[in-house]
Amino acid sequence: MATTIVGILNCTPDSFSDGTEDLSPGALCDRALRLIDQGADVLDIGGDSTRPGSACSGVDEEWRRIAPVLRAMRGKIPCSVDTHHVEVARRAIEFGATFINDISGTLSAEMVNLVACHRVSYIFMFNAHRGAHVFEGGLQTPIAFSSISDWISTAIQQLTTMGVSPDKLIADPGMGAFISKDPAVSWEVLSRFHELPAPNGGLLLGCSRKGFLTTAKEEPPQKRDLRSCKAGAAAVRRVSPSTPTFLRVHNTLMQRQILNEWDSMSEAERAL
């Protein structure tokens, strides 16, 4: 089964990876079209940065940032909205969003009832801190992977019981600071991604440009694209072909190329 490439479109001035870019509606729509041209199957649109140290922008500001892009992209490509606010999710669904990407890890009844009622896909992410703007120490090895795996299993049962269709559930194990300050935890999740329990809707991996990918030489997030794309390809290629997989990435062109070439690469070429 082909991997779905989810292109990240941050509509925020304080994103860790691209917060300095032009955020006018015209510029954002141009970036969205470029992501589509370069291989995105889905756009993930976010208006509230959840990087460590971020502050919640609030419903109205978040909606102001993303509404023009959602309106412009309707009918061009399936859109996901990265939000932990039920009201933003509700408005986004009215504007045609077919995925809600909830990174809070709370599985709030109001959000779950909304996605169940409208039968949109629900990306539910493990978050060790159970909140969108809360960052503490997080998990530690050796129990981290089992904790994430157990949470996903329980969440699948809970969400199904609450009325979400199993084929609309997509599990995201979380990455980086969402799960731990210790890079070793993220690396273990990458190496064992294929062992995670998978709902019918599939598994999503969002490691793009995360801090745990940095080398000994400090570098800006944009320089992490190659390692991000190789790490993503290596993880999803180990997953059973019957399980849908999603890669949430900044550089859709590079990710598409690496996925297409992965099977023909040597071990040296695949090395991060």
Q: Tell me the per-residue pLDDT of 229-249, one tens digit each, with 9 for 90 and over.
A: 999 999 999 999 999 999 999
Show me where the domains of the chain are located: 4-270
Residue 58: DSSP 8-state = -
The predicted model gives 29-58 an average pLDDT of 89
CATH number belonging to the domain at 4-270, selected among 3.30.930.10, 3.20.20.20, 3.30.200.20, 3.30.70.100: 3.20.20.20
Cα angle for residues 37, 77, 160 (degrees, 5° grid): 135
pLDDT at 20 over 70: no
- Whether omega before 142 lies within 30 degrees of 0, making that bond cis, reads yes
State the Cα–Cα distance between residues 41 and 125, nearest whole angstrom. Answer: 20
In this structure, are residues 229 and 258 in contact, taking their beta carbons and an 8 Å threshold? yes
For 127, half-sphere exposure in the C-beta direction (CA atoms, 13 angstrom radius) is 22
pLDDT at 37 over 60: yes
Spatial contact of 190 and 232, defined as CB atoms under 8 Å apart: no
CA of residue 40 relative to chain centroid, distance: 13
pLDDT digits (tens, 9 = 90+) for 196-232: 999 999 999 999 999 899 876 777 888 899 999 999 9
Percent of the chain with pLDDT over 70: 95
- One DSSP character per residue, 202-260 reads -EEE--TT-GGG--SS---GGGGHHHHHHHHHHHHHTS-TTS-EEEEES-HHHHHHHHH
